Amino acid sequence: MKLATQNTNSFSVQKMIQEKKKRKSAGGITEKIMPYILFFTAAVSVLTTIGIVLTLIFETFLFFDAVSIKEFFTGKTWYPFSETNGSFGILPLVMGTLKVSLIAAIVAVPIGLASAIYLSEYASDRTRRIIKPILEVLAGIPTIVYGFFALTFVTPILRDIIPSLEIFNALSPGIVIGIMITPMIASLSEDAMTSVPNAMREGALALGSTKFEVAIKVVLPAAVSGIVASIVLAISRAIGETMIVAVAGGSTPNLEWNLTGSIQTMTAYIVQVSQGDVGYGTTIYYSIYAVGMTLFVFTLVMNLFAQYITRRFREAY
Amino acid sequence: MNLINHDSVVKRMKPRLSKNIFSKWIFLALTMFILLILGVLLYRIFSQGFGYLDLQFLQSLPSRKPENAGVYAALIGTMWLMAVVAPVSLLLGVGTAIYLEEYAKDNWISNFIKVNISNLAGVPSIVFGLLGLTVFVRALALGTSVLAAGLTMSLLVLPVIIVASQEAIRAVPNQLREASFGLGATKWQTIVRIVLPAAIPGILTGAILALSRAIGETAPLVVLGMPLFLAFLPRTVLDSMTVLPLQIYNWTSRPQAEFHALAAAGIIVLLFMLIVMNSIAVLIRNKFQKRY
C-alpha cells in the first residue's frame, strides 16, 4: 500500500477517495498486490543474470575438479576429444576469437565511421531517411544467414584471390562479422555525432574550415565518447558471435598467427560439443561452461568498459 | 599594408578543398559499399534458393534427398516457438516496464534492475543457451522441448521488450494520469485503462521486433541440443521440435551444393517472415502512434 500511494499522495482528493473505498470493501486487493506481482516480473531479469552467473560458476567448478586452473589458462593445446585424457588449454580458442574479432574490427571500424560521418555531416535529410532504414535491415538479418553468405560466397571469392586459403579459415568469417557489426557502429556513432550542437559546426565553418575539417577536427573529437563506446560494443558483439564462425570458421583450435587456416573460436567450440553426443557429466560437457564463463567475462568487461566511457567522457553541451 | 598574403592562401586552399571533395566521395563510397553488400547478399540467396522454393518445399518434411526435402516441420516449429515466446516475454517485459516506470522508487533496487537489464542485453546469445541447458533442459527436466526453447528465447529477448515498453509508457503524458486520478480512479485502474492503451502501439512494435529476433536466433537452440533434423511435428509444448534457423544451419553444414540451395530457399522463407513482421511493426508505429 505504501508503495502504491507513494507517488500519488500529492493528490489529496484521490487519497480521500481511496480511504473511503478502503472503508467500504476489500476491493482494493488488486491495488495492493499488483505492485508485488509487477516487482516479481521485474525480478525475473535479475534472476536471469543471477542464474547465468551461478550456472557458469557451478559447472565451471565441476570442470576444475578434472582440469587444473593453471592448465586451463596457460595450456597451449586444446584437444578435448582424446580417448584417455584430453588437453584443455583455452589459449588456442581465445586466439581464434581474437583473430576473427580483429579482422571484423579492421573491416567494420573504417566503414562504420565513414558511413556515420557521411550520414551526419554530408548527407541530406532525404538521403539519410533512405540509408538509415537499410542499415537497420542489415542489422536485423539473422546471423545464420551471414554464416551461409560467408561459406558459400565470401570464402570462394577469397579462395580465388588467395589460393592457399582453406575452406574453413579465419579471414572469411572475420570479414562477414565485420559486415554484420558495421551498421551497429554506423548508427550508434551517427547518433553521437548528430548530438554535437550545430553551433560548434557553424563556429568552425565561420573560421574558414572546410566540411572535412569540421568533421575530423570538431565533430569527431566532440563525439569521441559515443564513438569509442559504439566500437567497443560492436567488438563485444563480434566476440560473442556464434553461427558465422561455427559455419565458416572450422573446428581446429590453434595458436598460430595464421589467417588462412582453419580455426576454432570459443563460441564455435560450444556449438561443436552441443551438437555431438557428449555424455552428460563428462569433462567435455563441463568444459563448455568453462569456455562460456571465459566468453561471458570477456563480453561483460567490454560492455562495462563501454558504459564507463559514455559516463566518464561524455561532453555535455 | 598587406596583412593577408593572397598567394599563400591560394596555395594552401587548393589542397584543402580537394581533400574536402575527395574525402566526401570516400565516405559516400564506403557507405554505398555496405549497401552494395546487402544487395549482393540478397541477390545471391534469391538466385540460389528460388528454384527450390515452391509449394512442395513448404509442405514437405526434411528428407535425405534434396529434391524431396522441405521446411514444413521447421516452419511449424517456428510458429510453436513464437506461441511460447510472445506471451511469456510480453507478460514479463511489460510487467517489468510498468513496475520501473509507474511504481519503482528512485532507490538502489530499481537502479540495480535497470543496470542489470542493460547488461543482460549485452550477454552473448550462446550464454543464454548454457543457462537454458542447465535450468530448463536439465534441472526442470523439460528436455529439448518447445517449452525449454521458448523460455530460453523469452529470457534472451526480454531486454528488448522491457526497453521498448519503458519508452512507450514514459511517452504517455502525465496529464492523462492526473486527469484519471482527478476523476477518482485508483493507480491500477489508471495504468490498465489509461496508460497501457496509450502505450500499446509502442509496446507492440517492440514486441514484434523482439519476436523477429527470437525466430532468427540459432546459437542458443543449438546449445540446448534441439534437433537440427526432425521428421515429425510437435503436438504439445513438451514435444521436441526444430525451427527454421536450425534447419538452415543443418543444410548449410552439409557439403553438397543441392543442400546449400535448400538452405538458401529456407533463408528466403525466414527473411520473408521477418519482412512481414517488421512491416507490421512499422505499420502499427505509423498508424496508431499518437503524438501528444
Give this complex's ipTM. 0.89
Which residues of A, range 284-303, sit inside 8 Å of B by Cβ?
288-289, 292, 295-296, 299-300, 303
Look up residue A177 and give its three cell numbers. Answer: 562479422
Q: Do B135 and A38 touch (CB under 8 A)?
A: no
> What residue in B sits closest to A290 (Cα-Cα)?
B130
Helix residue spans in chain A (DSSP H): 2-6, 12-24, 29-66, 69-74, 91-117, 125-140, 143-149, 155-161, 171-194, 198-206, 211-213, 220-222, 224-240, 243-248, 266-275, 283-312
Do B134 and B152 reside in the same domain of the chain? Answer: yes
Mean pLDDT calculated for residue range A260-289? 87
Q: Does B114 touch chain A (CB under 8 A)?
A: no
Q: Which of residues 69-108 of A touch B (CB under 8 A)?
A: none
Residue B229: CATH number of its domain: 1.10.3720.10
**Residue A1 has what pLDDT?**
45
Interface A–B counts its CB contacts (< 8 A) at 262
What's the mean pLDDT in B94-113? 90
Q: Which residues pair with B240 in a beta bridge?
A: B145
Question: Chain A neighbours among B 260-289 (CB < 8 Å)?
Answer: 260, 263-264, 267, 270-271, 274, 278
Quote the domain boundaries for residue B26.
Answer: 2-52
Statement to judge: residues B97 and B220 lie in one domain: yes
Number of domains within chain B? 2
User: Is B188 close to A30, i.e. CB distance below 8 A?
Assistant: yes
Confidence check: pLDDT of B229 > 80: no
Q: Is the pLDDT of residue A3 over 70?
A: no
Q: Which of B12, B34, B52 marks a domain boundary?
A: B52
B259 and B131 in one domain?
Answer: yes
- Final residue of a domain: which of B15, B32, B52? B52
Which residue in the set A111, A134, A246 is minimally distant from B38, CB to CB? A134
Count of helix runs (H) and strand runs (E) in chain B = 12, 0
- Given an 8 Å threshold on Cβ–Cβ distance, is B24 in contact with A179? no
Band (pLDDT 50/70/90 cuts) for residue A24 is low
Stronger pLDDT, A313 or A76, i.e. the higher one: A76
Indicate if B111 and B216 belong to the same structural domain. Answer: yes
The proportion of chain B whose per-residue pLDDT surpasses 90, expressed as a percent, equals 49
Q: Could you tell me if A145 and B271 are in contact, meaning their C-beta atoms sit under 8 angstroms apart?
A: yes
pLDDT the model gives residue B248: 92
| A30 touching chain B per CB within 8 A | yes
Report yes or no: B249 and B270 within 8 Å, Cβ to Cβ: no
Task: Determine which of A147-156, A269-278, B176-185 has the lowest per-residue pLDDT on average.
Answer: A269-278
Lowest mean pLDDT among A14-18, A50-54, A291-295, B23-27: A14-18
Q: Among B26, B38, B131, whose Cβ lies nearest the Cβ of A137?
A: B38
CA A41, A46, A52, A57 dihedral sign is: negative
Q: Whole-number mean pLDDT of chain B?
A: 88
Indicate if B136 and B237 belong to the same structural domain.
yes
* Alpha-carbon span B11 to B55, nearest angstrom: 69
One domain for residues B153 and B270: yes
Sequence letter at residue A234 = A
Question: Residue A114 pLDDT more than 60?
Answer: yes
Strands, DSSP E only, in B26-178? none
| pLDDT score recorded for residue B166 | 94
Q: Residue B104's closest CA among A11, A39, A48?
A: A39
- Check A210 against B19: CB less than 8 A apart: yes
Q: What is the pLDDT of residues A126-162, one digit of tens each?
A: 988 888 888 888 888 999 999 999 999 999 999 999 8
Mean pLDDT of B54-72: 78
In this complex, is the C-beta atom of B112 within 8 Å of any C-beta atom belonging to chain A?
yes
Check whether B179 has a pLDDT greater than 60.
Answer: yes
Q: Are residues B43 and B159 in the same domain?
A: no
pLDDT (0 to 100) of residue B292: 60
Query: For residue B95, is pLDDT > 60?
Result: yes
pLDDT of residue A79: 83
Same domain, B87 and B214: yes
Strand, coil or helix: A221 = helix
Stretch A161-168: mean pLDDT, rounded? Answer: 89
CB contact under 8 A, A148 and B252: yes
Phi, psi at residue B3, to the nearest 5°? -70, -35
In the stretch 114-143 of chain A, residues with CB closer than 8 A to chain B read 114-115, 117-119, 122, 131, 134-135, 137-138, 140-143
Band (pLDDT 50/70/90 cuts) for residue B109 is: confident
Q: Alpha-carbon distance A131 to A209, whole Å?
A: 27
> Which residues in chain B have Cβ-Cβ distances shorter than 8 Å to A282?
none
Q: Whole-prediction pTM value?
A: 0.88
Same domain, B26 and B79: no
Contact state of B130 with A183 under an 8 Å Cβ cutoff: no
Based on the domain organization, do B61 and B126 belong to the same domain?
yes
pLDDT higher than threshold 60 for residue A4: no
Q: Does residue B39 surpass a pLDDT of 60?
A: yes
Q: Of the ranges A17-31, B38-52, B86-100, which one carries the lowest mean pLDDT score?
A: A17-31
* pLDDT, mean over chain A: 87
Q: Are residues B21 and B158 in the same domain?
A: no
Cβ atoms of B165 and B199 within 8 Å: the answer is: yes
Question: What pLDDT score does A25 carry?
Answer: 54
With 0-12 / 13-18 / 19 or more C-beta atoms within 10 angstroms meaning exposed / middle / buried, residue B279 is: exposed
Are both B98 and B69 inside the same structural domain?
A: yes
User: Would the pLDDT of A7 be above 80?
Assistant: no
Residue where a domain terminates, one of B52, B73, B92: B52
